[in-house]
Amino acid sequence: MDALKDLFVKKCSDFACEPVQALLDDLSAAKGACLTSIQLNGNSKRLFNNRVGYMQVCALCEALYEDANVVSIDLSYNRLNDMAAQAVARLIKVNRTVRFINLAGNDITHVGATQLADALSMSSEGSAGGPVLQVLMLSGNPLEDQGVVALGNMLRSNSSLAALDLCNTGAGIQGIISVCTALGEANQTLSSLDLGSPTLKGPQDTTTLNIARMLASNTSLTELGLSKHGLTDDAFDTLVSYGLLRNRSVTSLDLRANRLSPFSGPTLERLLNDSHQLHSLNLASNRLGDQGALSLARSLPYTHWLQKLDMRSNNIGEQGLVALAEALSFATHLQEFLVWGNSFGPAASRAMLDTLSATAQQGQALVVDIKPYEVDGRAQVALLNE
């Protein structure tokens, strides 16, 4: 790694910036071994007060043009601008080794997103000079609708990307439609997509219908994030009826922080019963209440394919929690169950205590976020911090 270290120092001199000491330390610690991952996330302890600047990113990218060892680069939370994104885009075009780039939590706008999209819009991976990047994380950047539209258009021609994170990027109606249209009509290689926390003014039937249409025709997507989409009960029913029930590839679905009420219970029951490929379902921070929990409890013992269920903060009371606890006794296939943030009373606490004690005695490896305990004959539930 001495050659890369010397080249990086030289490039920093050319760009009139100080070398990133954290990277120099990592390269020195490698002691002749190949460094395959560069970790320069600004929210780390060593970089929190001395984050990476865009000129240092330019120097790093030029130093990596001909590198054949580094496969992963993490530049998240560094307040990087569009100039840094342009340097990364050039690296994507030139380098044939880097597979993972994390640019989350920076200040990249639609200008930088367009540069990245252009770099990834070249010929497919199997063709000479085509992009080879497989994972691109852009969550938390102010890409806005224009930037997301550019990335959506890129997906029509790109066949190397397997994961794209666009959560909290200011995506609007046109951006979501662009991405969904590309995945429904052209792209069959992307397997993980996060469209969470878009900028939508109230519930949008247009985006829901486009997502459903995409799900009905796409066969490659396995992980889908739709948190904070403002999904109402009717919109969720549309998504399930015309999209999810016609899809046979999505194994992980994130529906956190939507507007699902107890009326979505029957739709959830139908989704769990008919989507045999669904392994993970996140319903945290909705308002499913007791009736929604009862619907899920009816399905849990029979959905042998479901492995992870997140029901945190869903306004579930005693009746729903007792039903879920009883269902857990028969849902031996479940590996993770999160339920903190609901209203645990004496009956629910006792039911959870008895159920989790029984599963532990049976040797079932169930991961939970609560710790039931008993004091003076009365059951209580506490948050489990591990």
Three-state secondary structure along 23-47?
HHHHHHHHCCCCCCEEECCCCCCCC
- pLDDT at 128 exceeding the cut of 80: no
**Percent of the chain with pLDDT strictly greater than 90:** 89
Token reading at 358: 């029984």
pLDDT at 362: 82
Q: What is the mean pLDDT of residues 131-154?
A: 97
Return the closest-CA partner of residue 179 out of 206, 208, 154.
154
Output the pLDDT for position 1.
63
CB hemisphere CA count around 238 (13 angstroms): 17
State both tokens at 229.
């989409």
DSSP, res 249 = -
Q: What pLDDT score was predicted for residue 152?
A: 97
Residue carrying the six token digits 């852009």: 138
pLDDT of 335 strictly over 90: yes
**pTM attached to this predicted model:** 0.94
Cα separation, 167 vs 194, whole angstroms:
6
The 10s digit of each residue's pLDDT in 90-99 is: 999 999 999 9
pLDDT at 385: 82
At 19, the amino acid letter reads P
Return mean pLDDT, the chain. 94
Q: Give yes or no for residue 40 having a pLDDT over 80.
A: yes
More confident residue, 202 or 384: 384
What is the predicted pLDDT for the residue at 127?
A: 40
Is 158 within 8 Å of 125 (Cβ atoms)? no
Note whether 76 and 137 are within 8 A (CB): yes
- pLDDT, position 276: 95
What are 8's two structure tokens? 């990086």
H or E element that contains 4? helix 2-14
Q: Which single residue is written with the structure tokens 């008993």? A: 374
- pLDDT at residue 212 above 90? yes
Q: Tell me if 60 sits within 8 A of 95, measured CB to CB.
A: no
Rounded CA-CA distance 293/269 in Å is 10
Helix (H, G, I), strand (E, B) or coil at 370: strand
Q: How far apart are CA 122 and CA 117, in angstroms?
A: 9
Q: Provide the 10 A C-beta neighbour count for residue 126.
A: 8
Of 318, 253, 249, give the one whose Cα is nearest residue 283: 253
With cut-offs at 50, 70 and 90, classify the pLDDT of residue 205: confident
**Residue 223 and residue 327: Cα distance in Å, rounded?**
26
**Helix extents (H) in 163-317:** 173-185, 205-217, 233-242, 265-274, 289-299
pLDDT score of 331 more than 70: yes
Given a cut of 70, whether residue 375 has pLDDT beyond it is yes
Q: Which two tokens stand for residue 276?
A: 């045999």
219 pLDDT more than 80: yes
Q: How far apart are CA 327 and CA 306, in angstroms?
A: 13
C-alpha distances (whole Å) from 293 to each of 185, 303, 362 are 36, 15, 25
Report for 28-42, 123-137, 162-176: range of highest mean pLDDT: 162-176
Q: What is the reported pLDDT for 386? A: 62
Mean pLDDT of 324-341: 95
pLDDT at 2: 78
- pLDDT at position 100 is 98
pLDDT, position 123? 47
Weakest mean pLDDT among 19-28, 202-211, 230-239, 333-342 = 202-211
Give, to the nearest 10 degrees, the angle between helix 318-328 and helix 346-361. Answer: 10
pLDDT for the residue numbered 130 = 83
Q: How confident is the model at residue 124 (pLDDT cuts 50, 70, 90)?
A: very low
Q: What is the mean pLDDT of residues 335-359?
A: 95
pLDDT band at 233 (very low <50, low <70, confident <90, very high): very high
Which residues, 6+ apart, have CB-to-CB distance to 360 below 8 Å? none
Paired sense of beta strands 378-383 and 370-375, if any: antiparallel
CA distance 184 to 206: 15
What is the side-by-side strand order in the sheet with 252-254? Answer: 37-39, 72-74, 100-102, 135-137, 163-165, 192-194, 223-225, 252-254, 280-282, 308-310, 336-338, 367-368
